[in-house]
Amino acid sequence: MMLDAAAVARLGEEVPLLEGIRTTRALRRLKPDPVPTGLIRKVCEAGTFAPSGGNRQPWRFIAVTEQARRAWVAERYQRAFHAYIGPALAAAREPSYPEAQRRNVLSALHLADHLAEAPVLLFVAGWMRRDMPQTQALFPAIQNILLACRAVGLGASLTTIHTSFGAEVDAWLGLPEGCPTCAMLPIGWPRGTYRRPVRNSIDQCLFYERYQQEV
**Binding to a copy of itself (CB under 8 A): which residues in 30-89?**
37, 40-41, 44-46, 48-51, 53-55, 57, 59-66, 69, 88
Return the half-sphere exposure (C-beta side, CA atoms, 13 A cut-off) of residue 80: 18
For a copy of itself, the closer CB: 95 or 174: 174
| 103 vs 191, beta carbon nearer a copy of itself | 103
d(CA 165, CA 161) in angstroms, rounded, equals 8
Regarding 26 and contact with a copy of itself (CB under 8 A), the answer is yes
List of residues 6+ apart from 96 with CB closer than 8 A? none
Q: Which of 112, 118, 151, 154 binds a copy of itself (CB under 8 A)?
A: 151
Q: Check binding of 164 to a copy of itself (CB under 8 A).
A: no
Angstrom CA distances, 37 to 16, 64, 120, stand at 24, 11, 10
Please give the angle made by the CA atoms of 161, 166 and 170, to the nearest 5 degrees: 135
Q: Does 3 participate in binding a copy of itself (rule CB under 8 A)?
A: no
When the beta carbons of 78 and 159 are compared against a copy of itself, the nearer one is: 159
Nearer to a copy of itself, 64 or 111 (CB): 64
Measured from the CB atom, is 95 or 208 closer to a copy of itself?
208
Q: How far apart are CA 126 and CA 60, in angstroms?
A: 6
Work out how close the CB of 116 gets to a copy of itself at its nearest, in angstroms, rounded to a whole number: 15
Find the binding residues for a copy of itself in span 88-147 (CB under 8 A): 88, 100-101, 104, 125, 135-136, 138-140, 142-144, 146-147
Tell which residue, 122, 133, 138, 135, has the closest CA to residue 180.
133
Question: Contact with a copy of itself (CB under 8 A): which of 2, 4, 5, 13?
Answer: 13
**Residues 50, 58: contact at Cβ < 8 Å?**
no
Is residue 27 a contact residue for a copy of itself (CB under 8 A)? no
- The H-assigned helical ranges of 93-175 are 99-113, 135-152, 166-172
State in Å, rounded, how far the first CA of the chain is from the last one: 49
CA-CA distance, 49 to 14, in Å (whole number)?
18
Task: Please identify, among the stretches 75-83, 111-119, 187-195, 206-214, the one whose residues bind a copy of itself according to the rule CB under 8 A.
Answer: 206-214
How many chain residues bind a copy of itself (CB under 8 A)?
A: 80
